[in-house]
Amino acid sequence: MITSTKTTQTYSKAKPFIGQIQACTLLNGPGSDKKTYHVRLDLTGSNIKHKPGDCIAVIPANDPREVERLLSYFSHCPNKTFLNPRTKVPITLRAFLQTCVNLTRVPSKLLALLGLDEKFPNLEACLASINTYSGSLEAFATTLAPMLPRFYSIASSMQAAPTSVDLLVATFTCDQGGKLRPGVGSHFLCTLADQSTPIPLYHQPTKHFLLPENPNTPIIMIGPGTGVAPYRAFLQERIATGSSGKNWLIFGERQSTCDFYYQDEFISLEKNNQLILDTAFSRDQADKIYVQHRLLEKQDAVRQWIEDGAIIYICGDAKRMAKDVLETLATILGDHAAVRQMRTDKRLLLDVY
Ligand SMILES: Cc1cc2nc3c(=O)[nH]c(=O)nc-3n(C[C@H](O)[C@H](O)[C@H](O)COP(=O)(O)OP(=O)(O)OC[C@H]3O[C@@H](n4cnc5c(N)ncnc54)[C@H](O)[C@@H]3O)c2cc1C
Ligand SMILES: NC(=O)c1ccc[n+]([C@@H]2O[C@H](COP(=O)([O-])OP(=O)(O)OC[C@H]3O[C@@H](n4cnc5c(N)ncnc54)[C@H](OP(=O)(O)O)[C@@H]3O)[C@@H](O)[C@H]2O)c1
């Protein structure tokens, strides 16, 4: 049985709380080819009450250098005010480009407005092709997609940190027409923002990814990469509340020497007999070892835990990892119907993205 705690949601995309970064630490060590950060956000004064499994939604801002480059293609003064077509509130062109829109796409509506029928790798190349835009700002603004919030699993429990939240944020770049472009939200939190940057955010409670109501229930937490984030909150909560249920964490990343997030904390819990820890480091050897390989190796224990009433959690990559882990669980349980039944019974819970 799982319970859901109702949380009053005071803040939203339209009315966010303005938090601040308290700390931002790179968790990967030398030799890593990843950059994943531990980000602590100060929520003092927000009255946000979160529970393990919840997320924080961050509304990022675009890179000011990119905004300045784009502004150079406008005949309008960057401080010229116009009516934001979505909110109907006056805003300057600079602030609009910085905070209100997704600059990573070149929408077909924009091409139509500019009378272009070629494809462009990015917005800058598109504007450069016309040299200067001197048309209506409202018309221009209508063509762009809005800036959407980015969700991050809360990696801390209120029991451990009542006025802040920890996040585990993976940064990355993708190739856009030969140019490397960082992810908007992850770049904003981990690189652009500092302790004085306003961080618009709101609390997004989970409806389903919940700790069991019965503290004696064993839990198996499967979370490679940033998928481990909510489990840090789960463990903090279960330990602070003296829950006697067994905790089993199966974590995976690329290399054990440099990509083992929260290694000291997890090892210390393991030493205190508060956690059973298994790891799958995919690039420590020639053949890939993933979390599902560990599950399969320990299938007898997995079946026993399920028999003992365990709840299984899967968090992280939706495209490949979650599918493969579900497939492995079907192998362990005998068929897909058994996996479906566990999901129906809310004993197999997914938070994947
Ligand atoms: C419920 C939920 C919980 C989440 N929890 C976390 C979390 O705890 N930590 C976390 O880091 N993210 C988490 N995410 C993902 C997060 O919300 C963002 O999607 C992520 O940070 C990328 O956003 P961005 O603005 O940086 O990238 P964008 O500018 O939106 O670019 C996204 C593009 O980059 C690709 N991409 C996304 N991530 C990567 C990557 N790691 N490597 C390579 N390419 C990538 C996508 O396929 C897409 O094409 C969660 C998402 C959801 C829905
Ligand atoms: N669009 C993209 O190109 C892209 C790329 C990476 C991540 N992402 C997204 O970024 C988010 C988080 O990334 P992250 O940095 O936390 O971790 P991640 O990229 O998901 O990687 C964490 C670990 O999972 C392994 N892994 C890869 N495929 C797997 C599979 N099928 N089953 C089990 N494990 C697998 C990785 O191994 P190896 O890397 O050695 O295979 C690595 O050891 C996810 O949403 C993910 O979808 C997107």
pLDDT at residue 329 greater than cutoff 80? yes
Same domain flag for 228 and 318: yes
pLDDT at residue 237 greater than cutoff 70? yes
Residue range(s) defining the domain that contains residue 223: 219-352
Q: Is 256 helix (H, G, I), strand (E, B) or coil?
A: coil
Same domain flag for 274 and 291: yes
How, if at all, do strands 199-204 and 55-58 pair?
Answer: antiparallel
Q: Is 24 helix (H, G, I), strand (E, B) or coil?
A: strand
Is 8 among the domain residues?
no
Count of structural domains within the chain: 3
Using the atom order of ligand 2, give the atom closest to the CA of residue 254. Answer: 43
Among 33, 50, 152, say which to mutate for ligand 1: greatest number of ligand atoms within 8 Å of CB: 152
Same domain flag for 29 and 46: yes
- pLDDT of 66: 97
Angle at 157 between CA 152 and CA 162, to 5 degrees: 105
Q: State if residue 282 touches ligand 2 by the CB under 6 angstroms criterion.
A: yes
Q: What are the tens digits of pLDDT across the range 8-62? A: 558 999 999 999 999 999 999 999 999 999 999 999 999 999 999 999 999 999 9
Tell me the pLDDT band of 3, cut-offs 50, 70 and 90.
Answer: very low
Using the atom order of ligand 1, give the atom closest to the CA of residue 155. Answer: 8
Is 209 among the domain residues?
no
Among residues 97, 125, 143, the one where a domain terminates is 143
317 CA distance to ligand 2 centroid (A)? 6
Among 33, 168, 172, 190, say which to mutate for ligand 1: greatest number of ligand atoms within 8 Å of CB: 172
79 CA distance to ligand 2 centroid (A)? 42
Q: CA distances (Å), 185 to each of 107, 145, 169, 321, in order? A: 20, 15, 9, 22
Q: List, chain by chain if needed, residues with CB within 6 Å of any ligand 1 atom.
A: 55, 104, 150-153, 168-170, 172, 174, 183-186, 226, 229, 351, 353
351 CA distance to ligand 2 centroid (A)? 14
- pLDDT of 177: 80
Is 134 among the domain residues?
yes
Tell me the pLDDT band of 179, cut-offs 50, 70 and 90.
Answer: confident
Q: What are the tens digits of pLDDT across the range 107-142? A: 999 999 999 999 999 999 999 999 999 999 999 999
Using the atom order of ligand 2, give the atom closest to the CA of residue 174. Answer: 3
- pLDDT of 178: 84
- pLDDT of 8: 54
pLDDT at residue 7 greater than cutoff 70? no
Q: Which helix (H) or strand (E) holds 67?
A: helix 64-71
Residues in the chain: 353
Q: What is the CATH number of the domain that holds 33?
A: 2.40.30.10
Tokens encoding 142: 């209508």
Query: Which residue's CA is the nearest one to ligand 2's atom 18?
Result: 225
306 CA distance to ligand 1 centroid (A)? 31
Sign of CA dihedral 234, 235, 241, 247: positive
Same domain flag for 277 and 314: yes
Nearest ligand to the C-alpha of residue 169?
1
Query: Which residue's CA is the nearest one to ligand 2's atom 11?
Result: 317
Report the distance separating Cα 337 and Cα 112, nearest Å. 50
Same domain flag for 166 and 47: yes
140 CB contacts (<8 Å, ≥6 apart)? 110, 113, 133
Provide the whole-model pTM.
0.95
- pLDDT of 207: 97
Q: Mean pLDDT across the chain, nearest whole number?
A: 96
8 Å CB contact between 333 and 326: no
Burial of 276 (0-12, 13-18, 19+ CB in 10 A): middle
Tell me the pLDDT band of 4, cut-offs 50, 70 and 90.
Answer: very low
Q: What is the CATH number of the domain that holds 323?
A: 3.40.50.80
pLDDT at residue 5 greater than cutoff 70? no
Query: Which residue's CA is the nearest one to ligand 1's atom 33?
Result: 183
Among residues 143, 169, 188, the one where a domain terminates is 143
Using the atom order of ligand 2, give the atom closest to the CA of residue 253. Answer: 43
Nearest to 222 by CA among 265, 253, 251: 251
Is 11 among the domain residues?
no
Per DSSP, the residues of 209-244 read ---BSSTT--EEEEEEGGGGHHHHHHHHHHHHTT--
Task: Calculate mean pLDDT across residues 273-297.
Answer: 98
Same domain flag for 322 and 177: no
Q: State if residue 314 touches ligand 2 by the CB under 6 angstroms criterion.
A: no
Chain centre distance of CA 334: 33
Q: State if residue 150 touches ligand 2 by the CB under 6 angstroms criterion.
A: no
Task: Calculate mean pLDDT across residues 325-329.
Answer: 98
Is 324 among the domain residues?
yes
Among 103, 151, 202, say which to mutate for ligand 1: greatest number of ligand atoms within 8 Å of CB: 151
Is 43 among the domain residues?
yes
Among 27, 169, 186, 317, say which to mutate for ligand 2: greatest number of ligand atoms within 8 Å of CB: 317
Same domain flag for 193 and 123: no
